[in-house]
């Protein structure tokens, strides 16, 4: 790998990229890609050679002081690894091998002397695919859209090979208010809403002040100790129907995020109820107010695609040894919501 001339200064890291490079918050994006056929490493390398240089972040490395991106020549062979698998030894348990491999992969940091990404090819059968490709990229390179742009460019033919395949972005629909409310009724509703807001604010302030003084959350597997970012991670996922989520959203007159938050809280409650003893747990909040904002023992990610919602869970294996149980609880919670609406004749 050699550095191109004239780029010694490089491009400064964005504030978000600096955050992801800070100690204790050094996290990567793990992407699993299932394929219908065995993966040929030479084909992957050839495609990457044609497209990686078009993506600035994937063809740049960190400067020595970690403050900027330096454009560099990428030796693709140093970023692609083919895992040697003894098929006779693993027999039909390919899925466990993939999960264990990814769990071990989280223990090894990326080499900062080259661009912060690599690809691991596992030609082993799982329940969903004939082979699995694991892409590990540092979160400071960008968000999921940046990664998707590279993957699309490497797997899709475009009329002009000198350009990067674009990622379609859906435009947000404008909210249309069909019902016109009389001004007097609007005034009454606004006044009552203001009174409720003031009252609820005082109640919440009182509870927030009282909880640290008189109450304390029970120590559960969800409360990991110090150094959780250095522990091995386990990953699992579930695929649920996006139509079910939309149906619940429409009936309950809420957003998809509201439904997912309800599913998550219900699943955590069901999961914790399986433990003996009475557990006291303060309700989750949408904004993290803790001093430690780094990697936590539990991370839940939602992705909607082609009429499906993929729920991915990453856990600290020392805190939550069986993440599959938590995945089951999330799937069961969604089914319970739909069943309740059916019983009440709302569907």
Directed axis angle between helix 41-51 and helix 144-155, to 10°?
Answer: 110
| Average per-residue pLDDT for the chain | 78
Contact residues for 223 (Cβ-Cβ < 8 A; gap 6+): 217, 297, 319
Name the residue with tokens 């742009």.
149
pLDDT in tens, 1-34: 444 444 456 788 888 888 888 776 677 888 888 8
b (16+ CB within 10 A) / e for 253-270: eeeeeebbebbbebbbeb
pLDDT in tens, 173-201: 555 454 667 878 888 888 999 999 999 99
pLDDT band at 112 (very low <50, low <70, confident <90, very high): confident
- Contact status, residue 122 vs residue 135, Cβ threshold 8 Å: no
- Choose among 286, 311, 287: nearest CA to 300: 311
pLDDT in tens, 259-278: 888 888 888 888 877 766 66
pTM over 0.75: no
SS3 203: helix
CA distance 97 to 103: 10
Confidence (pLDDT) at 194: 92
CA distance 135 to 79: 10
- Contact status, residue 327 vs residue 311, Cβ threshold 8 Å: yes
Pairing of strands 117-122, 131-138: antiparallel
Q: Where are the domains of the chain?
A: 11-155, 183-216, 231-343
pLDDT in tens, 209-262: 887 777 766 666 566 556 666 677 788 888 888 888 888 898 888 888 888 888
Is 139 catalytic? The answer is yes
Q: How many helices (H) and strands (E) does the chain have?
A: 9, 10
pLDDT band at 279 (very low <50, low <70, confident <90, very high): low
Mean pLDDT on 93-116: 86
For residue 277, CA distances in Å to 40, 73, 219, 320 come to: 53, 58, 11, 18
- Structure-token pair, residue 196: 């409720």
- Contact status, residue 267 vs residue 326, Cβ threshold 8 Å: yes
CA distance 74 to 58: 9
Sheet holding 117-122, edge to edge: 28-35, 131-138, 117-122, 80-82
Yes or no: is domain 11-155 CATH 3.30.559.10?
Answer: yes
- Contact status, residue 297 vs residue 224, Cβ threshold 8 Å: yes
Given 73, 138, 139, 177, which residue is catalytic? 139
- Structure-token pair, residue 319: 């805190």
Pairing of strands 60-62, 298-305: unpaired
CA-based torsion, 199, 200, 201, 205: positive or negative: positive
Helices (H), the chain: 15-21, 41-51, 87-90, 94-105, 144-155, 183-214, 242-252, 256-273, 323-343
């Amino acid at each position: 790998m050699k550095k191109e001339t004239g780029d010694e200064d490089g491009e400064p890291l964005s504030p978000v990229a600096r955050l992801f490079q800070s100690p204790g918050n050094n996290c990567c994006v793990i992407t699993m890609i299932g394929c219908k056929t065995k993966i040929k490493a030479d084909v992957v390398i050839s495609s990457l050679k044609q497209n990686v240089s078009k993506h600035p972040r994937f063809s740049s490395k960190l400067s020595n002081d970690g403050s900027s991106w330096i454009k560099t020549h990428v030796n693709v062979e140093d970023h692609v690894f083919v895992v040697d698998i003894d098929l006779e030894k693993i027999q039909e348990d390919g899925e466990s091998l993939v999960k264990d491999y990814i769990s071990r992969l989280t223990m090894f940091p990326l080499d900062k002397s080259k661009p912060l990404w690599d690809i691991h090819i596992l030609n082993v059968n799982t329940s969903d695919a004939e082979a699995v490709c694991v892409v590990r990229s540092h979160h400071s390179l960008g968000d999921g859209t940046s990664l998707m742009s590279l993957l699309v460019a490497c797997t899709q033919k475009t009329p002009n090979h000198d350009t990067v395949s674009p990622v379609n972005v859906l435009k947000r629909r404008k909210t249309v208010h069909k019902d016109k409310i009389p001004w007097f009724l609007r005034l009454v509703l606004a006044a009552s809403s203001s009174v409720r807001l003031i009252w609820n604010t005082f109640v919440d302030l009182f509870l927030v002040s009282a909880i640290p003084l008189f109450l304390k959350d029970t120590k559960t597997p969800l409360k990991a100790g110090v150094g959780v970012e250095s522990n091995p991670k386990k990953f699992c996922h579930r695929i649920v129907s996006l139509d079910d989520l939309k149906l619940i959203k429409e009936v309950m007159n809420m957003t998809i995020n509201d439904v997912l938050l309800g599913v998550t809280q219900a699943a955590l409650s069901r999961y914790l109820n399986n433990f003996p003893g009475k557990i006291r747990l303060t309700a989750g909040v949408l904004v993290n107010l803790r001093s430690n904002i780094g990697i936590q023992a539990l991370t839940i990610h939602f992705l909607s695609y082609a009429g499906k919602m993929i729920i991915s869970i990453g856990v600290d294996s020392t805190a939550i040894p069986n993440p599959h149980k938590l995945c089951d609880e999330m799937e069961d919670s969604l089914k319970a919501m739909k069943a309740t609406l059916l019983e009440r004749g709302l569907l």
